[in-house]
Amino acid sequence: MIFWWLLLLTSIGSWVLTGLLRRYALAKNLIDVPNDRSSHSMPTPRGGGVAIVVSFLAVLPGLNYVDWVSTPICIALGGAGLIVALTGFLDDHGHIRARWRLLVHFGAAAWGLYWLGGFPPLTGLGLFPEWLGYLCAAIYFVWLLNLYNFMDGIDGLAGLEAIIVCSSGALLSWLVAPDLNTWMLPALLATAVSGFFAWNFPPARIFMGDAGSGFLGLMLALLSVQATEFHPQLFWVWLLLMGVFIVDATVTLCRRVLFGEKFYEAHRSHAYQYASRAIGSHRSVTLAIGAINIFWLLPIASLVALEKLNGGLGLTVAYLPLLCLAFYYKAGDRQAQMD
């Protein structure tokens, strides 16, 4: 019961802090002004994701104190999260060149990996040298971190994705290992996001900003690896639950590289952005992606978690329709989206 009350207080705290951050953003003129690379049409304050960072990280020491979360996990999430959130906060207030941000991101990934003890799916099987496991894990962390930033482009999408993915991850972790506390951290992150989401649901009154989106991407990566330590199937589960974001962002990046574009520059050629323009509604696209998560990806992830379906096969089945949707909505094809 204590933990459930803690979740409620975390959500309320996030909601209150987001409101205060909105006042701060308006006072400091931290406003996202629409341009030809934006998906929104109204100037909107940004930086509300700091509420997610503060409300989540503030609870970690308490969970560690009562032995619900281990010290290495707290240090991994707290240290890496603070590094990324601070970099995003500074970037929201000014500008940090892409190469320096990338360097910091790899530093945060290295910190998290060190304290988590590596990447279990690769380092524990004896099939790969340990250094290769760390390298693959670092790339995985940095990609999730950045793709979450890329996918935070329409009202409510990044927040709803985090709530559904973390809630689903917590549920399946509990089903797989009910005697362990693996489910607590994703549940806590979901409630921290929910307070912000109340302000970000379309039409958004404040945006997440780089501090929040980068933090969420890295936390999801760290939680997926942390869960794998307790049950190998859970890594497949997290990849399945994050399928919409992974497929859209990866297809978009690959096509932009093939088209010879500067993939690191801001753009609006993701499938979800094209869909929001074609449909004319952020809310409809956000809710549709939420429905895909709940009614398509979660059932497949459940079968994988309960070992009724092979992880690789489940990933193939789940991702194929998502790939079709990405190409249907012209992910990464900027010229086609302009026609």
Q: What pLDDT shows up at residue 129?
A: 65
Q: What Cα–Cα distance (Å) separates residue 297 from each residue in 42, 169, 184, 293, 300?
A: 33, 11, 21, 5, 5
**Residue 78 neighbours by CB under 8 Å, 6+ apart:** 57, 60
Structure confidence at residue 307 (pLDDT): 92
Q: What is the pLDDT of residue 303?
A: 97
pLDDT tens column, 167-176: 999 999 999 9
pLDDT (tens digit, 9 = 90+) per residue, 117-144? Answer: 877 654 444 455 667 778 888 999 999 9
| Domain around 65 | 2-30+43-338
More confident residue, 35 or 134: 134
pLDDT in tens, 60-114: 999 999 999 999 999 999 999 999 999 999 987 877 888 899 999 999 999 999 9
Please name every residue paired with 44 in a beta bridge, in sequence order, or none if there are none: 32
Residue 92: inside a domain? yes
Give pLDDT, residue 228.
85
Q: What is the mean pLDDT of the chain?
A: 90
220-242 per-position pLDDT tens digit: 999 999 888 888 889 999 999 99
- Please return the burial class of 119, using the count of CB atoms within 10 Å of its CB with bins 0-12, 13-18 and 19+: buried
- Domain annotation covers residue 36: no
- Looking at the chain, the whole-number percentage of residues with pLDDT higher than 70 is 92
Please report, as a single letter, which amino acid is at residue 217.
G
DSSP 112-153: HHHHHTS-HHHHTSSSS-HHHHHHHHHHHHHHHHHHHHHT--
Q: For residue 263, is it within any domain?
A: yes
Please report whether residue 35 resides in a domain: no
Give the number of domains in the chain. Answer: 1
Residue 92's pLDDT is: 79
d(CA 112, CA 62): 20
Cβ atoms within 10 Å of 13's Cβ, excluding its own: 19
- Res. 261: pLDDT tops 90: no
Domain presence at residue 16: yes
> Residue 155: pLDDT above 90?
yes
Mean pLDDT on 206-223: 95
pLDDT band at 37 (very low <50, low <70, confident <90, very high): low
Is the C-alpha dihedral spanning 256, 35, 159, 327 positive or negative? negative
Task: Tell me the pLDDT tens digit for each residue of 322-339.
Answer: 999 999 999 888 766 555
- Residue 242 structure tokens: 């994050």
Q: What is the pLDDT of residues 297-309, one digit of tens each?
A: 999 999 999 999 9
The lowest-confidence range among 4-8, 89-93, 106-110, 148-152 is 89-93
Residue 218 domain flag: yes
23 — phi, psi (to 5°)?
Answer: -65, -40
The reported pLDDT for the residue numbered 126 is 47
pLDDT of residue 315: 95
pLDDT score recorded for residue 123: 40
Specify whether the CB–CB gap between 40 and 31 falls below 8 A. no
Q: Are strands 44-45 and 31-32 parallel, antiparallel or unpaired?
A: antiparallel
